[in-house]
């Protein structure tokens, strides 16, 4: 049965997800069968497993680093915000319901059982589990019924490393304050501190280390440098390499128009490594300007986000780019936005009943309560995209709610076959000249050949492309190398070994 180590943070965005991924890679390199685990995750960035279950993208990254297939047991509770006060609740990969924050707080007893059922199942299959907390354990207003931080750690009895982000300032006060705000039994589980995102000479921290260790009785187990040269996909935000300014040497500009509740923004990470290509995310009130490729991504509230794009003028600018010769692509909710209307009569996602689309595709969408989640393979239908071969194969996954109906002015783009099924069915739509198309297939641009063909079409010539999978694996290896140099791995292994043997 598995050994367990948990990383908790002094707050959100201190780097827990990346550190868990790096530790998983180190253990994998050392021959340990290791899996990541996050009891509860709130994110719009999700993935579909081979079994068809939905989970947070951060745990997918961690599973890739660990060299194992992602499984919903690694993220048993996923909360996907639909409004500022509500979220879709996904338990062990399947949609349970939409809830407001107070409703979910009362629901935690049910969620708790899901968390520990998944954890026990995972612990029976691996030698070690590296657990990621959520936010901070010092959010004492949320402590009752907690399943994300110390509530989980106490139940399991697992050791905890507390991570602080020095880049924001105040890290030592955050570490001490967090420790003092949690209960004595929870304090006993904290075995050491890790400083993350440091710039400068780490020896300058020694006086603070001595003072804080003397005060708390906990050692510092490493200082991880701030880095920008290692590619790791973001958990729930736009990758910092996506920029607003275009350099003079770039030949293709790819612009992603960001709605308020963008989902699955990692769909576009493959463009980041392409030479001569600029990937930019444009959000209201920014202006789109001229781009070669304009992409509308997924949304967790398509109707409301469509209204926002019209109000900001970005919807008009997308249409103008299409008239000027850009290729316009819609993925999932973005595909729905490219049509004539999106309607949500049952209030599946939105507060508004309907929204006028951009009218670039002759399709209409009605939201339906049933959610489609599947890994799928696809083949391009003949004559749809002049720059990609007919019948060209693609792989990806579907996460969508809604039924889209095509009118006479659009033709299906692809045929999809979901994992475990024999039947092919039409998906997406394309305009007559192939310069505008949409699909429900996420991961479209992970397909190196498809991405290269689109970029070569706008370059006007063939160019080398970058293997996205190879780039990810290189990033995990480089992250592991950095952590081996930065952390006291001997001490961390001792903490892991002394933890509960489940």
- Total length of the chain: 502
Q: Which of 396, 397, 392 is nearest to 413 (CA)?
A: 392
pLDDT at 181: 96
pLDDT at 244: 45
pLDDT at 242: 63
Parallel, antiparallel or unpaired: strands 46-48 and 293-296 = unpaired
Does 310 participate in catalysis according to the annotation? no
Residue 313 tokens read as 């003028």
Average per-residue pLDDT for the chain: 92
pLDDT at 460: 87
Residue 23 near residue 178 (C-beta atoms within 8 A): no
Residue 500 reports pLDDT greater than 80: no
Average pLDDT, integer, range 108-114: 91
Could you report the per-residue pLDDT of 61-75, keeping only the tens digit for each?
Answer: 999 999 999 999 999
Q: For the structural domain made of 3-226+474-498, what CATH number should be given?
A: 3.40.50.300
CATH 3.40.50.300 residue window(s) in the chain:
3-226+474-498
Per annotation, catalytic residue among 332, 400, 457, 458: 332
Average pLDDT, integer, range 88-107: 90
Question: How sure is the predictor about 239, in pLDDT bands with cuts at 50, 70 and 90?
Answer: low
Per annotation, catalytic residue among 71, 307, 442, 458: 442
Q: Which CATH architecture has domain 252-466?
A: 3-Layer(aba) Sandwich (3.40)
- The C-alpha atoms of residue 396 and residue 440 are separated, in whole angstroms, by 9
Residue 430 near residue 436 (C-beta atoms within 8 A): yes
Average pLDDT, integer, range 250-275: 88
Average pLDDT, integer, range 196-215: 95
Average pLDDT, integer, range 470-477: 97
What percent of the chain lies above the pLDDT cut of 70?
A: 96
> What single DSSP character describes residue 144?
T
pLDDT at 248: 45
Could you report the per-residue pLDDT of 419-469, keeping only the tens digit for each?
Answer: 999 999 999 999 998 999 999 999 999 999 999 999 999 998 888 888 999
Could you report the per-residue pLDDT of 401-418, keeping only the tens digit for each?
Answer: 889 999 998 999 999 999
pLDDT at 501: 56
- The C-alpha atoms of residue 342 and residue 412 are separated, in whole angstroms, by 18
Does 307 participate in catalysis according to the annotation? no
CATH 3.40.50.880 residue window(s) in the chain:
252-466
pLDDT at 463: 86
What percent of the chain lies above the pLDDT cut of 90?
A: 77
Question: pLDDT higher for 474 or 81?
Answer: 474
pLDDT at 351: 67
């Amino acid at each position: 049965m598995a050994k367990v180590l948990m990383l908790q943070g002094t707050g959100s965005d201190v780097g827990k997800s990346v550190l868990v991924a790096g530790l998983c890679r180190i253990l994998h390199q050392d021959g340990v069968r290791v899996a990541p685990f996050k009891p509860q995750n709130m994110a719009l960035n999700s993935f579909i497993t081979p079994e068809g279950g939905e989970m947070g993208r951060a745990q997918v990254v961690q599973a890739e680093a660990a060299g194992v297939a992602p499984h919903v047991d690694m993220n048993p509770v996923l909360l996907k915000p639909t409004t500022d006060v509500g979220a879709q609740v996904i338990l062990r990969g399947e949609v349970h319901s939409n809830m407001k924050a107070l409703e979910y707080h009362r629901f935690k007893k049910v969620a708790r059982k899901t968390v520990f059922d998944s954890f026990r199942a995972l612990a029976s299959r691996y030698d070690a589990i590296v657990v990621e907390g959520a936010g901070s354990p010092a959010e004492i207003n949320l402590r009752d019924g907690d399943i994300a931080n110390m509530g989980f750690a106490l139940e399991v009895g697992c050791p905890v490393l507390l991570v602080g982000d020095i880049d924001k300032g105040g890290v030592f006060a955050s570490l001490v304050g967090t420790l003092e705000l949690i209960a004595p039994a929870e304090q006993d589980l904290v075995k050491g501190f890790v400083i993350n995102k440091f710039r400068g000479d780490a020896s300058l921290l020694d006086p603070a280390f001595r003072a804080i260790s003397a005060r708390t009785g906990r050692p510092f187990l490493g200082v991880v440098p701030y880095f920008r040269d290692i590619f790791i996909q973001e958990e729930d935000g736009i990758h910092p390499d996506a920029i607003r300014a275009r350099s003079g040497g770039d030949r293709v500009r790819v612009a992603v128009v960001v709605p308020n509740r963008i989902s699955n923004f990692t769909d576009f990470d493959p463009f980041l490594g392409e030479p001569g290509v600029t990937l930019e995310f444009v959000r209201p009130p920014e202006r789109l300007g001229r781009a070669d490729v304009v992409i509308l991504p997924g949304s967790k509230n398509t109707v409301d986000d469509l209204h926002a794009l019209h109000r900001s003028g970005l919807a008009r600018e997308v249409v103008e780019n299409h008239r000027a010769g850009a290729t316009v692509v819609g993925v999932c909710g973005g595909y729905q936005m490219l049509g004539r209307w999106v309607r949500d009569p049952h209030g599946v996602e939105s507060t508004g009943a309907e929204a006028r689309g951009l009218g670039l595709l002759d399709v209409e969408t009605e939201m339906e309560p049933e959610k489609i989640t599947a890994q799928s393979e696809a083949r391009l239908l003949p004559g749809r995209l002049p720059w990609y071969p007919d019948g060209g194969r693609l792989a990806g996954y579907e996460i969508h709610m809604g039924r889209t109906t095509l009118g006479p002015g659009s033709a299906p783009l692809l045929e999809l076959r979901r994992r475990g099924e024999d039947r092919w069915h039409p998906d997406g739509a394309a305009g007559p000249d192939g310069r505008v198309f949409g699909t429900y297939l996420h991961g479209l641009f992970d397909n190196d050949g498809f991405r290269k063909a689109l970029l070569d079409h706008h370059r006007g010539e063939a160019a080398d492309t970058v293997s996205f999978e190879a780039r990810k694996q290189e990033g995990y290896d480089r992250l592991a190398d950095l952590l081996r140099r930065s952390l006291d791995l001997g001490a961390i292994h001792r903490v892991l070994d002394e933890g509960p043997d489940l």
